[in-house]
Amino acid sequence: MQRFIIQGGEELHGEVWISGAKNSALPTLAAALLTEEPVILHRIPAVKDIQTMVQLLRSIGATVEVEQGAVRVQAQQILVPEAPYDLVKTMRASSLVLGPLVARCGRARVSLPGGCAIGARPINLHVSGLEQLGARITQSHGYIEAVAPDGLAGKSIHFDRITVTGTEDLMMAAVLARGTTILNNAAREPEVKDLAELLVKMGARIEGAGTSTIRIEGVQTLRGAEHTIIPDRIEAGTFLLAAAITGGDVRVKGCEPSHLEALLAKLSQVGVMVDRPEENTLRVRGANLRSADVTTEEHPGFPTDLQAQYMALMTQAEGISIITETIFENRFMHAPELMRMGANIRLEGRQAIVAGPRQLSGAEVMSSDLRASASLVLAGLVARGRTVVDRIYHLDRGYEKIEKKLAALGARIQRV
Ligand code: EPZ
**Last residue within a domain, chosen from 228, 243, 275:** 228
Tell which atom from ligand 1 comes closest to the C-alpha of 191.
Answer: 14
The reply to whether 206 and 253 lie within a common domain is: no
The reply to whether 253 and 332 lie within a common domain is: yes
Pocket of ligand 1 from Cβ distances under 6 Å: 23, 26, 93, 119-126, 161, 163-166, 304-305, 327-328, 370-371, 398
% the chain with pLDDT above 70: 100
For residues 52 and 343, what is the distance between their CA atoms, to the nearest angstrom?
36
For residues 304 and 295, what is the distance between their CA atoms, to the nearest angstrom?
9
Domain of residue 172 covers 22-228
Question: What is residue 320's predicted lDDT score, i.e. its pLDDT?
Answer: 98
For residues 165 and 12, what is the distance between their CA atoms, to the nearest angstrom?
34
**Last residue within a domain, chosen from 206, 228, 250:** 228
Residue pLDDT, tens place only, 164-209? 999 999 999 999 999 999 999 999 999 999 999 999 999 999 999 9
Residue 100 three-state SS: helix
Residue pLDDT, tens place only, 21-77? 999 999 999 999 999 999 999 999 999 999 999 999 999 999 999 998 899 999 999
Pocket test for ligand 1, best of 95, 158, 163 (most atoms within 8 A of CB): 163
The reply to whether 94 and 217 lie within a common domain is: yes
What mean pLDDT do residues 256-285 have? Answer: 97
Question: What is residue 114's predicted lDDT score, i.e. its pLDDT?
Answer: 77
The reply to whether 11 and 36 lie within a common domain is: no
User: If you take atom 4 of ligand 1, which residue's CA is the nearest one?
Assistant: 23
The reply to whether 203 and 64 lie within a common domain is: yes
- Give distance in angstroms: CA of 360 to centre of ligand 1: 31
Tell which atom from ligand 1 comes closest to the C-alpha of 119.
Answer: 27
* End-to-end CA gap in the chain: 9
Q: How confident is the model at residue 230 (pLDDT cuts 50, 70, 90)?
A: very high
Question: What is residue 132's predicted lDDT score, i.e. its pLDDT?
Answer: 98
H-helix or E-strand containing 51? helix 48-60
Residue pLDDT, tens place only, 87-126? 998 898 999 999 999 999 999 999 998 778 888 889 999 9
The reply to whether 77 and 189 lie within a common domain is: yes
The reply to whether 213 and 184 lie within a common domain is: yes
The reply to whether 360 and 393 lie within a common domain is: yes
The reply to whether 243 and 295 lie within a common domain is: yes
**Last residue within a domain, chosen from 204, 228, 252:** 228
Tell which atom from ligand 1 comes closest to the C-alpha of 49.
Answer: 15
- Give distance in angstroms: CA of 119 to centre of ligand 1: 10
User: If you take atom 39 of ligand 1, which residue's CA is the nearest one?
Assistant: 123
Question: What is residue 113's predicted lDDT score, i.e. its pLDDT?
Answer: 86
Active-site amino acid positions: 116
- Check: CB of residue 395 under 8 Å from CB of residue 9: no
CA–CA–CA angle 267, 230, 247 (5° rounding): 25
The reply to whether 165 and 248 lie within a common domain is: no
User: If you take atom 22 of ligand 1, which residue's CA is the nearest one?
Assistant: 305
Question: What is residue 1's predicted lDDT score, i.e. its pLDDT?
Answer: 87
Residue pLDDT, tens place only, 334-388? 999 999 999 999 999 999 999 999 999 999 999 989 999 999 999 999 999 999 9
The string of DSSP codes covering 203-228 is T-EEE-BTBSEEEEE--S----EEEE
Phi, psi at 370, each rounded to 5°: -50, -50
The reply to whether 270 and 350 lie within a common domain is: yes
- Give distance in angstroms: CA of 415 to centre of ligand 1: 29
- Give distance in angstroms: CA of 121 to centre of ligand 1: 7
For residues 305 and 320, what is the distance between their CA atoms, to the nearest angstrom?
21
The reply to whether 105 and 93 lie within a common domain is: yes
Give how many domains the chain has, as a whole number. Answer: 2
Residues in the chain: 416
Q: How confident is the model at residue 162 (pLDDT cuts 50, 70, 90)?
A: very high
Q: How confident is the model at residue 408 (pLDDT cuts 50, 70, 90)?
A: very high
Question: What is residue 148's predicted lDDT score, i.e. its pLDDT?
Answer: 98
What's the Rg (C-alpha) of the chain?
21
User: If you take atom 14 of ligand 1, which residue's CA is the nearest one?
Assistant: 23
Pocket test for ligand 1, best of 164, 259, 399 (most atoms within 8 A of CB): 164
CATH number of 409's domain: 3.65.10.10
For residues 174 and 172, what is the distance between their CA atoms, to the nearest angstrom?
6
